[in-house]
Amino acid sequence: MTGGTRLVGEVAVPGAKNSVLKLMAASLLAPGRTTLDAVPDILDVSVMADVLRGLGAGAERDRAGGRIVIDIPEVVDATADAELVRRIRASVAILGPLVARRGEARVALPGGDAIGSRALDIHMNGLTKLGAVVDVEAGVLVARCSGRLQGASIWLDFPSVGATENLLMAGALAKGTTVIDNAAQEPEIADLCALLTAMGARIDGAGTSTLVIEGVEGLRPVLHRTVPDRIVAGTWAIGALMTGGDVTIRHGRAEHLGIVLEKLVGAGAVVELVEDGFRVSADGRPRSIDVVTLPYPGFPTDLLPQVIALEAVSEGISLITENVFDSRFVFCRELHALGADLRTDGHHVVVRPTPRLTGASVLASDVRAGAALVLAGLMAEGTTVVRDVHHIDRGYAHFVENLTALGAEIRREPSSVAAA
């Protein structure tokens, strides 16, 4: 890609990656055909569909129409394909549904992005309180339950999104009442609650830190529309500010990005609500801002790389603090290769202003880092090449095509290397 072009125009936000994969896992709870709409055309959806097929389910995907139909048989396999599971972290979401339906689950320790350790202890401890016996055997999570899971009161040591989702799905079919305290409050959790409720689950407290689930004996398949992707929307908003552009983000929900948009306004953006979305415009070089990541409704860790890229082209010194993952700053060395002036120290990175970024060949280490490097490349003089863009494909549908439509000078090489 070649830097120096403002992003101007409209872009549509698809359903959320961080929601749809869990909705697909939740389909395991109800025999029959569950249909999901607003499904993003991303690599992780294809992998999760293959995971479900490996368990005996059918999965028909209409990529152009953004729909997937998942056909769950009366009896599903309890053992997930290890190679597929290790490709995406979200695959661990099948653990709770399988234990609830089958009384047994064998799920390889999941893979995903190289952004630090994400312990599964919270998942395991919660399922244990629900009556399952959970162990790790030769790199495989094994959960067993003799009979039906039993409702319990569970306090999460950290408001883990994945653990909240797994225990929510398991509790939906458990006998009695399950209470999850210090639960994650992300919009994706509320979306999962909406799906489960439509399926017949009894859930109170969606969107709060306390979830109360009255277990039922069975659930039914439904049609559900995935919540829009707030991280994709936030990425476009940051790109508009970085480039001094003017972008209308259709289907974006400003209410899901409260602190993010507040920070961007502080950096010089103008944010305007429009029909079915919001608009972000800017003029001139952004002002520096300090950011601290926290669980929702705090600043999301999935927008941290993008905001560091923003700070690399902003006026003034900024301090960025990461409180969720311990290796988010790995990508900073790639940003440094583009000329960014930054220094990391534990969970902090200090970013100082630099006259300009310069094009270089850099490596995408994860989904969000890849997107951030592309945004930085849009601001760099000369040509920037981003390698290993398959990571970007895991979370951003038609990323290059959308950027081109917004005016970016960018192309994708047949070798799956994004050049600009």
Question: Which domains, ranges and CATH numbers included, belong to the chain?
Answer: 8-13+228-419 (3.65.10.10), 17-215 (3.65.10.10)
Q: Is 148 annotated as ligand-binding?
A: no
Burial of residue 147, with CB atoms counted within 10 A of its CB: 0-12 exposed, 13-18 middle, 19 or more buried: exposed
159: preceding bond cis by omega (within 30 degrees): no
**Helices (H), ranges, 27-120:** 43-54, 82-85, 95-102
Q: Is 274 annotated as ligand-binding?
A: no
Amino acid 112: pLDDT: 46
* b/e sequence 87-98, b meaning 16+ C-beta within 10 Å: bbbbbbbbbbbb
Q: Is 129 annotated as ligand-binding?
A: no
Amino acid 394: pLDDT: 93
Helix, strand and coil content of the chain, in percent to the nearest 5, comes to 35, 25, 40
**Locus of tokens 């009894």:** 202
Q: Which of 113, 229, 246, 366 is catalytic?
A: 113
Q: Nearest CA to 131 among 178, 201, 180, 92?
A: 178
Q: What is the block-wise mean pLDDT of the chain (420 residues), using blocks of 10 residues?
A: 94 98 98 98 96 98 96 96 90 96 91 52 96 92 94 96 97 98 98 98 97 98 98 98 98 98 98 97 96 97 97 97 84 96 94 95 95 97 95 96 97 65
Q: Is 166 annotated as ligand-binding?
A: no
Residue 144 makes CB contacts below 8 A (sequence gap 6+) with 99, 103, 104, 132, 133, 134
Is pTM beyond 0.85 here? yes
Angle 203-204-207 from CA coordinates, rounded to 5°: 105
Q: Is 18 annotated as ligand-binding?
A: yes
Q: CA-CA distance, 183 to 196, in Å (whole number)?
A: 16
Q: CA-CA distance, 170 to 180, in Å (whole number)?
A: 11
What are the strands, taking DSSP E only, across 263-323? Answer: 270-274, 277-281, 291-292, 318-321
Question: Within a 10 A sphere around the Cβ of 291, how many other Cβ atoms?
Answer: 22
Residue 354 makes CB contacts below 8 A (sequence gap 6+) with 312, 313, 339, 340, 341
Amino acid 415: pLDDT: 63
User: How, if at all, do strands 357-358 and 153-155 pair?
Assistant: unpaired
SS3 readout for 127-159: HHHCCCEEEEECCEEEEECCCCCECCEEECCCC
Specify whether 71 is catalytic.
no
Amino acid 10: pLDDT: 98
